[in-house]
Chains A and B, each alone.
Chain A
Amino acid sequence: MSGELDEAVCALLEHSLRAWRVPGKIHREADGAWLIAAANKRVRIARAPADLPFRWTVADAERRRSATSVTGVLRHVRAALDSSYRSVSLRIAPLPPAP
């Protein structure tokens, strides 16, 4: 994990917990993975092995998910911490605004 991405992901996770109003802590593990302890759960975020077609894994006690970007990581982390979370998909209007 590059230094810049490393710092940015950590900051994003910290701000996300705050934004979602989920009290919790984030720890760095020896192998570079991040461990989130929040909502009575532990969620581990690690870089995927280089031979796999995705970049990240997000694992909790129940399942392991893969993600191709930090936005995918964010989706999986939120879903792991809040089982009632339902994401909203971006929609693109058919035409540009105004005549």
Chain B
Amino acid sequence: MIPVVVLTGFLGSGKTTLLGRLLRHPDFARTAVIINEFGEVGLDHDLVEASEESFVELQTGCLCCAVRGDLALTLANLLRRRDAGTVHPFERIAIETSGLADPAPILHTLMSDAHLARRLALAAVVATVDTVNGLATLERYPQSVKQVALADRLILTKTDLAQGQCADLAARLAALNPAAKREQAAFGEVDPARLFDTGHPASLRARDLSAWLGLDGRGDAPAAGHHAGISCFAILRNEPIKAIALTLFLEALAEHCGADLLRLKGIVNIAENPDHPAVIHGVQHVFHPPVWLDRWPSRDRRSRLVCIGRDIQHAWIEALIRAIEAEVAEVEAVGA
């Protein structure tokens, strides 16, 4: 499987500078790069590919079809050329989105295209955030909020130019996406290995799994945050969840929240398989199949789901899962 990093970030936030630096780094050799804007950067690299769209302006994710087909074709061609030996045998792919793009359609393409999914694996969504202008950008541009909310890792750029703005920006980012790891990049310098090192849920240790979920050291929920309509909250369950209840819950979430469900990830104690926790991960209405862990990574066997969404009410989510669990319990009681 070839890992893919999606590099997103608002206009002028330093994506291209970062990518330019990374491509000159020896550890980042054998990387194929797909940029979403022609001419944005003159990358002197044998493996540079560019998809057709110069940019896609998305508000709800519903325009994703415009970019999906083109990106899937670009990726498929890249893989074909790699197999044919007409490009260097790259070991990873970086996709740079345009500054105005919604990264969700790209994630959908990587997750749901059966042909690509056999060869490619989404390693991480990395978002650059301009330390100098980032706070104002987040206030003014909802696209930037979504880019941050979807990220696994946030790269704070231009830290060499920042004068005192860092604390406010850090607080804002933590509220928007407490699960994302944050790195600083002065002059575009960041360790390339960290971009691709997000960890597979199946191999995560307890502390890492908590970090992946954005939980604190005790495995408790992050403080609920709500900014620009984007909220982040956790759903905790002490009792195991029936598989059918989880299925109905995820279906209802996808059905009613759709594009507003930016990300849902978690570890779930499934009643029918309590010794093997299930790790679930979804972006909008597309979910990976659950990853079953060999064992619980700690003594904490609670189900913990972290939801990042736009205009999604925590109370509605709790009411939904409570009603589903109550109905499943009633059906089982009647059938017993």
Q: Which residues of chain A have a CB within 8 Å of any CB of chain B?
A: 2, 4-5, 7-9, 11-12, 14-16, 18-19, 55, 69-71, 74-75, 78, 87-99
User: Which residues of the partner chain A approach B3 to less than 8 Å between Cβ atoms?
Assistant: 98-99
- Which A-chain residue is minimally distant from B259 (CB atoms)? A88
- Extra 17 A-B pairs, beta carbons < 8 Å, given A9-B326, A88-B285, A97-B288: A5-B327, A5-B329, A8-B326, A15-B320, A19-B316, A55-B327, A70-B248, A71-B255, A74-B252, A91-B112, A91-B254, A92-B288, A95-B121, A95-B289, A97-B201, A99-B1, A99-B2
> Would you call A88 and B255 a contact (CB within 8 A)?
yes
How many angstroms between the C-alpha atoms of A78 and B256 in the bound complex? Answer: 9
How many angstroms between the C-alpha atoms of A92 and B255 in the bound complex? Answer: 13
Given contacts A9-B323, A71-B324, A91-B112, contact A18 B288 (CB under 8 A): no
State the majority secondary structure of interface residues on B: helix
Q: How many A-B residue pairs have CB under 8 A?
A: 134
> Would you call A97 and B112 a contact (CB within 8 A)?
no
> Would you call B286 and A99 a contact (CB within 8 A)?
no
User: Which residues of the partner chain B approach A75 to less than 8 Å between Cβ atoms?
Assistant: 255
> Would you call A4 and B201 a contact (CB within 8 A)?
no
How many angstroms between the C-alpha atoms of A18 and B318 in the bound complex? Answer: 14
Given contacts A11-B323, A16-B316, contact A98 B198 (CB under 8 A): yes
Closest Cβ–Cβ distance, residue A72 to chain B (whole Å): 9
Given contacts A19-B316, A88-B255, A91-B285, contact A97 B118 (CB under 8 A): no
Most buried by B among A4, A95, A99: A95
Decide yes or no whether B114 CB sits under 8 A from chain A: yes
7 residue pairs, one from A and one from B, having the closest CB atoms: A88-B258, A99-B1, A90-B254, A93-B111, A8-B323, A8-B326, A12-B323
